[in-house]
Structure 1
């Protein structure tokens, strides 16, 4: 662990994601001074006693150069030990990592490697290159090619997309037509599209932290129950030595530095994990923390330039849940008010699938302010369970990337644009820099 006597000043790159919110809890419990940037004034992380100051910033998706400029000015004005990219902001930071290196501790790989695994098509090609298992996959760029590539049932995915966006489960012709309509309507064929055979099995996630190609920390959990959009509502830690070997191979090949997570399908008829997606960051690290693997602390140490020893494997069978995801999932599956009330009771009493499970997203006993978004979600769903899908879409905000913002970051002039004087200087000082200290 980071020296207990040394409390770090940490800047979180966003506060809207579940991953960022869980990292905040772990940092706060360790006593670190944490500040948060986010384009939403009412992001999830604002409802926490662990946030010392909130900084309202431009959106990564809508103004990536403005977002980076804001962060760099904040780093120049205030001292931070570590900049922690908890979501897709790492894409922008990796683009100018050399410029940031002298200002703050930051653990990121080379931009080319980050971009490679951030792209679903790039990650699939990497798996083929390394001979690592994935579902049968075809990569297409047109509607006609997609029709030819689909073998029912299939999963269709845009190469860019996170939080379950840009994914269609195609089980029949009507599903295929809907996927084609959505792709053509929203410019999905402006980039590459993946078509993968749909494999029946359990969804799992593996998380890791690397130091220049060497694996230092590893954790895997399986999905016990799904929430809205297919995300995990209840999860349980498991041991997957084969999967650890896959990640070691990926990290060593890329010389990876920082956090890396993968999504996995464990087929019902095979013991071989199939890799289906990659996130160049930590994804919801609280289950690992509860199992005895503090990946956030390890990432802090790597960010500070340390070369810590590898962590031992965590405990199996540790169950955690996200109550908000569970309630939204119940509502999205045509749940009734009675279903919502029943789910609230099971969560509150720790019965049924919640037996022995602990809350990881809104830990009210540790952080009482987190009760506000949880209670609001429950109240709205009791008014109308059909609100679940629209409430979940609130998390797909300006802190995420899309194809256009990725192209801006990849452009030759991005670094220059991000460092240029802002013609709307007063906007930066008044409109965006609405920093506020929180209790």
Structure 2
């Protein structure tokens, strides 16, 4: 575990949302480090609300439905003198749009809006990889159903250019899968933007995350998915050493003059070939794995947000296993588990048995933060009552704190933000 000694002078940190797993884990790290944490989120039941480490929770307008209203709300909070604004999720796109004005009020680590938009867009990221000659699966960018039909080859992955938390992804292995994907893409209006079709490569899925200071990589961590939850998210993960991926990520950050946090997903092909980059997130993704492996990327991000230029962090330890109990239970139920199966999984989680041996809970650390037992217990009881609720529970994470195509276009427009927010 990274050093969690209390800081000499606690910082007042405003976290931009509280319903994602990344936000909940960042709250734990911030609280253990002695910082004063406040959280904004439109949901009254956000994960981060159930934490003794949160000093104050603020109900706010949803980023998706009212980006201008959300920005105005955040700026009113900043008037109360915070040290750091932490863009833990897609709110970073909005903050990058008005970066200079926000940096006049608070510590904030973000790249230019253009760089952020490139990393946030799956199509933009794929083009960047082509430009830099970096490895990715064979990829085509299409703008219509006919183009998709012409370019797809089985098996493939179809992705909307905008989407996080495993939204907008279809695994297409035959004509029936393709027609199902096309129907959903049509309902979503996805062809109003770009759609990617990418060869499905057999191999292990891994994620890597880094913190940059003006284009220079200072901290890095990678982990492998050991067991999946619903939607492809990690239920169990293990830290790994990936110098090749570190070099790839450093190249991307240098090219974009990145400032702040940046993460990538990659697949290590079964044939032992070079890791292939498959996605990018302009933020930290579930930073507790790095913290448990000895690297506090959240703390490093705070220092950069405050204008410091710290030295490079030590390498994280490989072989550190961790898990997310809620993801594990929802994933178990989504795969057709019976109530008895779910009870058995609850027992294995509680006793540290089976795949959870020598593994540390990331998301709801009951011994450190007993209030986190509330959402975990509610999830377990709901699944025991009706295992089919797994998909419904997972979709609650796709809330108003996330962006969609329309909200992105509003943020990109020339007249954003409206005069009322200036």
In structure 2, the residue corresponding to 1:61 is in which secondary structure?
coil
Aligned to 1:261, what secondary structure does the other structure show? strand
- Do structure 1's residue 131 and structure 2's residue 133 form an aligned pair? yes
Name the TM-score, length of structure 1 as normaliser. 0.94
Q: Secondary structure at the match of 2:418?
A: helix
- 2:39 equivalent in structure 1: 36
1:408-423 correspondence runs (5 A): 408-417=410-419, 419=421
Structure 1 CA distance for aligned equivalents of residues 259 and 87 of structure 2: 13
What's the CA shift for 1:418?
5.8
Render the CA deviation track for 1:225-255: whole Å, top value 9, x for unaligned. 0001110000000000000000110111111
Partner of 2:52: 49
Alpha-carbon deviations, 1:89-142, whole Å to 9, x = none?
A: 000000000001110000000000000110000000000001100000000000
Cα distance in 1 for residues equivalent to 2:385 and 2:353: 24
Which residue is equivalent to 1:205? 207
Contact 2:333 2:388 in 1 (8 A): yes
- State the alpha-carbon separation in 2 of the partners of residues 413 and 40 from structure 1: 28
SS in 2 for 1:284: coil
Using the alignment, how far apart are the partners of 1:214 and 1:86 within structure 2? Answer: 20
Q: Which residue of 2 aligns with 1:22?
A: 25
Whole-angstrom distance in 1 between the partners of 2:419 and 2:216: 35
Query: Unaligned stretches of 5+ in structure 1?
Result: 421-439
Deviates more, 1:2-11 or 1:182-191: 2-11
Counterpart for residue 237 of structure 2: 235
Task: Classify 1:391/1:3 alpha carbon distance in 2 versus 1 (closer, same or farther; 3 Å).
Answer: closer
Aligned-partner SS, 2:255: helix
Contact 2:365 2:372 in 1 (8 A): yes
Aligned to 2:62: 59
| Cross-structure match for 1:433 | none
1:175 is matched with 177
In the alignment, is residue 145 of structure 1 matched against residue 147 of structure 2? yes
| Pick aligned residue for 1:339 from 341, 363, 367 | 341
Per the TM alignment, residue 352 of structure 1 is displaced from its structure 2 partner at its CA by 1.0
Partner of 1:90: 92
Q: How many residues get paired?
A: 419
Q: Pairwise mapping of residues 324-363 of structure 1 onto structure 2 (< 5 A)?
A: 324-363=326-365
Tell me the C-alpha RMSD between the 2 structures: 1.0
- Superposed CA deviations along residues 127-183 of structure 1, whole A, max 9, x for unmatched, are 000110000000000000000010000000000000000000001111000000001
* 1:36-63 deviations in Å (ceiling 9; x for gaps): 0000111000000001011110000000
Partner of 2:377: 375
Of residues 390, 412, 419, the one that matches 2:392 is 390
Distance 2:11 2:86 in 1: 12
Partner residue of 1:310?
A: 312
Please give the alpha-carbon distance, in whole angstroms, between the structure 2 residues aligned to 1:12 and 1:286.
Answer: 16
Inter-CA distance 130–30: structure 2 relative to 1 (3 Å threshold): same
Deviation at 1:271, TM superposition (A): 3.7
Give the match for residue 319 of structure 1. 321
Tell me the SS of whatever aligns to 2:85.
strand
CA contact (8 A) 1:65 1:417 kept: no
Name 1:426's counterpart in structure 2.
none
Matches within 5 A, 1:209-224: 209-224=211-226
Most deviating of 245-254 and 320-329: 245-254
Cα displacement string for residues 271-321 of structure 1 (whole angstroms, at most 9, x for unaligned residues) = 411100000000000000000010000000000000000001011100000
Q: TM-score, normalised by structure 2?
A: 0.98
Partner of 1:435: none
CA contact (8 A) 1:203 1:263 kept: yes
Alignment equivalent of 1:248, drawn from 242, 247, 250: 250
